Amino acid sequence: EDQVTQSPEALRLQEGESSSLNCSYTVSGLRGLFWYRQDPGKGPEFLFTLYSAGEEKEKERLKATLTKKESFLHITAPKPEDSATYLCAVFNSGAGSYQLTFGKGTKLSVIP
């Protein structure tokens, strides 16, 4: 069974204090790892898809990387508007079912 574990559960950063969020996964044949951002009471907003170990993608202050067992979301010089819950998910196409299996998320708070 696919499993996704995110750490830490919550992270408080000062504005400008860079850090990383971790997503470790167990999946039989990775077909894609996704990062989403979710603001309170809203649907997840797509950030990145990574497909193979060694792959990296960047968007503004965010950079996602992927190894064979985990993914990191690096946040450089965060701003208060980066405060949100960041969700990691793996794509499963086993048994004819195409679904995303999500972790519980990391709640990021950036303090001015």
Partner 1 sequence: ETGVTQSPTHLIKTRGQQVTLRCSSQSGHNTVSWYQQALGQGPQFIFQYYREEENGRGNFPPRFSGLQFPNYSSELNVNALELDDSALYLCASSLGQSSYNEQFFGPGTRLTVL
Q: Please select the residue that binds partner 1; options are 41, 54, 81, 112, rule is CB under 8 A.
A: 41
Residues 90, 4: Cα–Cα separation, whole Å: 7
Nearer Cβ to partner 1, position 79 or 104?
104
- Do 25 and 70 meet the contact criterion of CB atoms below 8 Å apart? yes
Cis peptide before 44 (omega within 30 of 0): no
Residues 89-108 binding partner 1 (CB under 8 A) are 89, 91, 93, 95-105
Residues 66, 101: Cα–Cα separation, whole Å: 17
Nearer Cβ to partner 1, position 13 or 88?
88
- Torsion angles phi and psi, residue 90, rounded to 5: -110, 150
46 part of the interface to partner 1, by CB under 8 A: yes
Interacting residues with partner 1 (CB under 8 A): 4, 31-32, 34, 36, 41-46, 49, 51, 87, 89, 91, 93, 95-105
